[in-house]
Amino acid sequence: MSSPFILLNYKTYIQGTGQGAVEIAKACKAVSEESGIEIAVAPQLPDIYRVASEVELPVFSQHLDGIGAGSFTGHVFGKCVKEAGAVGTLINHSERRLTLAEIEASLKAAKEFGLRAVICTNNVPTTAAAAALEPDYVAIEPPELIGSGIPVSKADPEVVSGSVEAVAKINPDVKVLCGAGISKGEDLRAALDLGSQGVLLASGIVKAADPKAALEDLIRLV
Ligand code: G3P
């Protein structure tokens, strides 16, 4: 099995804001180098440039709008995200839901600017629909488990394995991540055993007293 992909979403947690965003990215880089596992971070948008400039690791945007250059005040433009140093973006996170048309437009913008796209979903049917759009990844995250500390890979293994099966039928090139409540080595191990290729996670690492130690625990059973 290939090495998993770990994507750490900082959300708007205070620990991952401003200089904290850089410090957590440094912990991710250290663990990534020690383990050979790809770890990427998704800080808040104004922190993308700061993190990407100071730490050499993949940086993702937490959101992208399907717009171009011009009269789009307050929107997130793919070219700007790319030039800030991001290599990818989340689309349709549970805390930043979009319409189907908007998801398609955001994905198109991500592709136009060479950004890896992770479409977030909440159940097997939406995962299947997202896979049909051909993103790089879909990330299945049942909203009720997000931030709960109860890992999706243990509390709802069927939604992970069902998503993996659905995506394999629709487009085997699309990789499946899972997320919600993932924080421990056993949670990541269970996610990989269910067929996912990595995890999207947040609170268990960003809010940990020692994010580097929390990351080391996360990957210990890979
Ligand atoms: O984007 C990751 C996320 O929604 C899961 O959050 O805190 O349950 O790891 P958490």
pLDDT per residue as tens digits for the range 7-24: 999 999 999 999 999 999
Residues of the binding site: 9-11, 146, 181, 202-203
Task: Tell me if ipTM is over 0.90.
Answer: yes
Residue 18, Cα to own-chain centre: how many angstroms? 19
Separation between Cα atoms, residue 138 and residue 38, nearest integer Å: 17
Residue 182: pLDDT over 80: yes
2 or 171, greater pLDDT:
171
CA 153–ligand 1 middle distance (angstroms): 13
Taking the whole predicted model, whether its pTM rises above 0.95 is answered as yes
- Tens of pLDDT along 93-119? 999 999 999 999 999 999 999 999 999
CA distances to 19, 31, 51, 109, 214 from 48, in Å: 11, 20, 5, 18, 23
Specify the pLDDT at position 73.
98
Residue 128: pLDDT over 80: yes
Percentage with pLDDT > 90 across the chain? 99
Nearest CA to ligand 1 atom 5: 180
| Contact predicate 155/186, CB 8 Å | no
Domain limits, the chain: 5-219
Q: How far apart are the first and last CA of the chain?
A: 10
Closest ligand 1 atom to Cα of 94: 4
Q: Just list the catalytic residues.
A: 93, 141
- Tens of pLDDT along 150-180? 999 999 999 999 999 999 999 999 999 999 9
Residue 1: pLDDT over 70: no
Separation between Cα atoms, residue 186 and residue 199, nearest integer Å: 12
Quick check: CB of 147 below 6 Å from ligand 1? yes
Coarse DSSP helix, strand, coil percentages of the chain, rounded to the nearest 5 percent? 45, 15, 40
Beta strands across the sheet bearing 198-201 = 38-42, 5-9, 198-201, 175-179, 137-140, 116-121, 88-91, 60-61
Number of other CB atoms surrounding residue 154 within 10 Å: 17
Quick check: CB of 6 below 6 Å from ligand 1? no
The CATH number corresponding to 5-219 among 3.30.930.10, 3.30.43.10, 1.10.3370.10, 3.20.20.70 equals: 3.20.20.70
Of 2-6, 15-19, 35-39, 71-75, give the lowest mean pLDDT range: 2-6
Quick check: CB of 7 below 6 Å from ligand 1? no
Specify the pLDDT at position 2.
77
Query: What is the chain's mean pLDDT, rounded?
Result: 97
Provide the residue type at 213 as one letter: A
Quick check: CB of 200 below 6 Å from ligand 1? yes
CA 221–ligand 1 middle distance (angstroms): 20
Specify the pLDDT at position 141.
96
| Contact predicate 187/221, CB 8 Å | no
